[in-house]
């Protein structure tokens, strides 16, 4: 059969749900390689036997739940969701311990010591919630390492006023942090 003229999965499943056995057989034959591919890619570390179990369980679930597919929706996302849940079930059945051989990666696993690359963005996002003056002062002193005297001169403020503004800004940041944790 010419692939360009082959029936779409949606057409096959529609016909199957109306009782067409040939369409259902064709649908299952067409989706099995898709299901197997998704199962293999998502279940790495579980082994080929478990992967084939996932494929069989997925096909059984599709058989039992094919009436839940909405005919106005594409079939593939529906299929992929079922496979994904079956893979999750397989991981759960094995418990929390999944053995993944790391011999090939042992030299590249340890992270280099250093700053968390996402930390600066998180700090900037929280500081941006302060008023403009407080955020400038906290950023200059806390992140850029400027001195109280430098910030006072730059903003035409006394050093005492900068210390008070810094203290208030840090106090507000602590409250923001607490509200984010709750």
Q: Which domains does the chain have, with CATH numbers?
A: 3-93 (1.10.1740.10), 119-181 (1.10.10.10)
- Cα-atom radius of gyration of the chain, to the nearest Å? 29
Is residue 58 within 8 Å of residue 39, measured between CB atoms?
yes
In this prediction the pTM is 0.49
Tokens representing 143? 């992140």
Per-residue model confidence as pLDDT tens for the chain (182 residues): 444 445 699 999 999 999 999 999 999 999 999 888 888 888 776 778 888 888 999 999 999 988 888 888 888 888 888 988 888 888 887 765 555 566 655 555 555 566 656 666 777 788 888 889 999 998 899 888 899 999 999 999 999 999 999 999 899 888 887 776 65
Is residue 162 within 8 Å of residue 152, measured between CB atoms?
yes
């Amino acid at each position: 059969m010419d692939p360009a003229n082959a029936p779409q999965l949606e057409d096959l499943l529609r016909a199957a749900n109306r009782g067409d056995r040939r369409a259902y057989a064709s649908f299952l034959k067409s989706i099995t390689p898709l299901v197997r591919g998704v199962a293999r890619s998502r279940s790495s570390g579980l082994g080929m036997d478990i992967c084939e179990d996932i494929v069989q369980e997925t096909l059984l679930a599709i058989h039992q739940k094919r009436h839940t597919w909405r005919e106005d929706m594409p079939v593939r996302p529906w299929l992929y969701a079922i496979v994904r849940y079956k893979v999750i079930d397989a991981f759960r059945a094995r418990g929390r311990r999944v053995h993944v051989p790391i011999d090939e990666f042992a030299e590249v696993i340890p992270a280099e010591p250093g700053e968390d690359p996402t930390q600066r963005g998180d700090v900037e996002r929280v500081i941006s919630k302060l008023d403009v003056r407080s955020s400038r002062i906290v950023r200059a002193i806390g992140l850029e390492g400027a001195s109280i005297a430098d910030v006072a001169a730059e903003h035409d403020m006394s050093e005492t006023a900068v210390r008070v503004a810094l203290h208030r800004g840090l106090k507000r940041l602590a409250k923001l942090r607490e509200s984010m944790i709750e």
